[in-house]
Amino acid sequence: MADTGWPGCAKSLKGVVLDMCGVLYDSGEGDGVAIPGSIEAVEKLKASDLQLRFCTNETQATREKFVAKLQRLGFDISVSEVFSPAPAAVAVLKEKGLRPHLLVYDGVLPEFDSVDKTDPNCVVIGDAAENFSYQNVNEAFRVLIGLEKPLLFSLGQGRYYKETDGLKLDVGVYMKALEYACDLEAEVIGKPSSMFFQSVLNDMGLHPHEALMIGDDLVNDVGGAQRCGMKGVQVRTGKYRPTDERHPTVTADGTVDNLAQSVDVILNQRGH
Task: Give residues 177-216 in contact with its own copies (rule: CB under 8 A).
Answer: 177-181, 183
If you ran DSSP here, which 8-state letter would residue 147 be given?
A: S
Burial category of 133 from C-beta neighbours within 10 Å (exposed 0-12, middle 13-18, buried 19 and up): exposed
Q: Which stretch binds its own copies (CB under 8 A): 7-15, 88-96, 133-141, 186-194?
A: 133-141
Q: Which stretch binds its own copies (CB under 8 A): 5-13, 42-50, 140-148, 203-211?
A: 140-148
DSSP lists the bridge partners of residue 51 as 15
Minimum CB distance to its own copies, residue 158 (Å): 10
If you ran DSSP here, which 8-state letter would residue 168 be given?
A: E
SS3 label, residue 128: coil
DSSP lists the bridge partners of residue 17 as 53, 213
267 near its own copies, rule: CB under 8 A: no
Q: How far apart are CA 234 and CA 240, in angstroms?
A: 8
* CA-atom Rg of the chain in angstroms: 19
Q: Which stretch binds its own copies (CB under 8 A): 76-84, 100-108, 141-149, 206-214?
A: 141-149
131 near its own copies, rule: CB under 8 A: yes
Among 115, 129, 204, 265, binds its own copies (CB under 8 A): 129
71 near its own copies, rule: CB under 8 A: no
Minimum CB distance to its own copies, residue 114 (Å): 28
Minimum CB distance to its own copies, residue 45 (Å): 35
DSSP lists the bridge partners of residue 161 as 168
168 near its own copies, rule: CB under 8 A: yes
Minimum CB distance to its own copies, residue 176 (Å): 4
Among 33, 91, 109, 145, binds its own copies (CB under 8 A): 145
Cβ distance to its own copies smaller for residue 11 or 142: 142
143 near its own copies, rule: CB under 8 A: no
Q: Which stretch binds its own copies (CB under 8 A): 43-51, 60-68, 124-132, 213-221?
A: 124-132
Peptide bond between residue 85 and the one before it cis (omega within 30 degrees of 0): no
Which of 64, 48, 58 lies closest to 16 in space, CA to CA?
48
Minimum CB distance to its own copies, residue 145 (Å): 6
Which helix H or strand E contains 38, and what residues bound it?
helix 38-47
Task: Give the count of alpha carbons within 13 A of 31, CB side only.
Answer: 16
Which of 158, 213, 234, 144 lies closest to 189 in space, CA to CA?
158
Q: How far apart are CA 160 and CA 96, in angstroms?
A: 30
Cα dihedral across residues 255, 258, 259, 264: positive or negative: negative
11 near its own copies, rule: CB under 8 A: no
Query: How many residues contact its own copies, by CB under 8 A?
Result: 29
169 near its own copies, rule: CB under 8 A: yes
Contacting positions for its own copies (CB under 8 A)? 128-135, 137-138, 141-142, 145, 159-160, 166-169, 172-174, 176-181, 183
